Structure 1
Amino acid sequence: MNETLRSLLDGNADHAREFDSRFDDVQDGQQPAAVTVCCSDSRVLQDHVWGNDEPGSVFTCANIGNRVMQRTDDGDVVSGDLLYPVAHTGTETVVVVGHTGCGAVTATFDDLTDGLDEPAGITHCLDILRPRLEPGVEALPEGIEREDAINHLVEYNVDRQVEFLVESEEIPADVGVVGVVYDFQDVYSGRRGEVHVVNVNGETDVEQLRAAYPDIDSRIERRWEY
């Protein structure tokens, strides 16, 4: 038997033993407090990021580049993965989770600056990110190092995803939209694995955010105020 599959199944057996009784209250429905849109990077452990181990608490979506939109014949719309809990389970908080060193942001940067030849499925994802990141690439500080450029654009990408949701008529006005960056590369001032709030409902000014949300002011931090 494939050793990777065996290891996954062993891990699931442990999970089933631990979680057996935790599904009693959510077997017939769900009302998650938040929906998160994370990058599908293997280093971003979606539930563990929040210390969550309760089924039914967080509705998790993942894709490369933590994109909140999908492309249709009528243009870009809010992704159904994200929209479902907002429309059908009463979820009132959306959290867009970028992360340092994002591969999708890196690939988009490289595509915009040098051009890339990727398989069609990856190209489709980059095509959605490209028009939103291109102004950010053009606005990068002169002479910035590549690693810093990528992490500047990680924030910029989170901002664009939040902006799309805030401006969309599909997201009710009373739904809060928060943008954060998960750091495991010592880019921000906290510990590895900490989430840093960079955007709330389209507001990106750090001082204004800290004044508006004093209870989390130590977790509000940006690398780039453009």
Structure 2
Amino acid sequence: MDQTFVDLLARNAEHAERFESRFDDVQDAQHPAVVTVCCSDSRVLQDQMWGNDEPGRIFTCGNIGNRVVQRTAVGETVSGDVLYPIEHTGTEIAVVVGHTGCGAVTATYDALTHGVSEPDGIGHCLDLLKPHLEPGVDRLPADLSRPDSINHLVEYNVDRQVQLLRESDDVPDSVTVVGTVYDFQDVYGGRRGEIHVVNVDGETDVDRLRADHPEIDDRIDRRWEY
């Protein structure tokens, strides 16, 4: 057996020892307080970024590009994995988590500007992002470096995913939708691994957000106010 997997099992044994009694209250049902939609990038530590060690607290979804929609016979709809906790477990907070240097955003940017060839499965994911990111690509300042262009589009993508949730008839108005960026590349000037709030229920103006949410004003920031 590959040593990597052997090591994973060893770490799982440690996990099971620590967590064995923590599943007592969630044996038969779950009622997570929040659903998060994260990028599946291996650098995005989906539970650990929140310091979560409580089973049943966070319903975590992951895919490349932190997308909230899927394509169906009737068009784009909110993905079932995102919608499930909202529809069935009473979850009333949805958090979209983008991240600096996102590979899916980079690949979509390249596909829109230069054209790229990807396997069908990856291409399908990029095709879901393209129509939502294309207007952002067109609005990028001309003098931006490539890394800055990508990180501007990371915020733009988070905004679009928040918008898709807010506009969906399947997501009740009572659900709070927060857009964030997980920074491990020193883009926002905080500590690596910090979450920065860039959007709350469609509001993206930093001054308004800080006025409306003073309890988290030091965590609200944006690189691009377009």
Letter in 2 for 1:64: I
- CA deviation vs aligned residue, 1:146-198 (integer Å, no higher than 9, x gap): 00000000000000000000011100000000000000000002100000000
Once residues 7 and 102 of structure 1 are traced to their aligned partners in structure 2, the CA distance between those partners, rounded to angstroms, is 28
Spell out structure 1 runs of 4+ moving beyond 2 A: none
Where 1:35 maps in the other structure, the secondary structure is strand
Counterpart AA for 2:218: S
**Does the alignment pair 1:76 with 2:64?**
no
Q: 2:203 maps to which residue?
A: 203
Q: Distance in 1 between matches of 2:129 and 2:178?
A: 19
Structural mapping, 1:24-173, within 5 Å: 24-173=24-173
Aligned partner of 2:8 in structure 1 is 8
Q: 1:20: which partner in 2?
A: 20
Q: If the length of structure 1 is used for normalisation, what is the TM-score?
A: 0.99
Question: Displacement of 1:84 after TM fit?
Answer: 0.2
Q: Considering only aligned residues, what root-mean-square deviation do their CA atoms show, in Å?
A: 0.5
Render the CA deviation track for 1:43-77: whole Å, top value 9, x for unaligned: 00111010000000000000000000000111000
SS in 2 for 1:215: helix
SS at match of 2:23: coil
Deviations 1:207-226 (A, max 9, x none): 00000000000000000000
Distance 1:121 1:3 in 2: 29
Look up the equivalent residue of 2:165 and give its one-letter code: L
Q: Which runs of 5+ in 2 are unaligned?
A: none
SS in 2 for 1:182: strand
C-alpha separation in 2, matches of 1:188 and 1:143: 19
Inter-partner Cα distance in structure 1 for 2:73 and 2:115:
26
Q: Which residue of 2 aligns with 1:216?
A: 216
Deviation at 1:2, TM superposition (A): 1.3
Cα deviations by residue, 1:19-55 (Å, 9 ceiling, x for unpaired): 0100001111111000000000000011101000000
2:178 paired residue number: 178
C-alpha deviation, 1:5, in angstroms? 1.2
The aligned amino acid for 1:161 is Q
SS in 2 for 1:96: strand
Q: Percent identity?
A: 70
Q: Deviation at 1:4?
A: 1.4
State the AA in 1 paired with 2:65: G
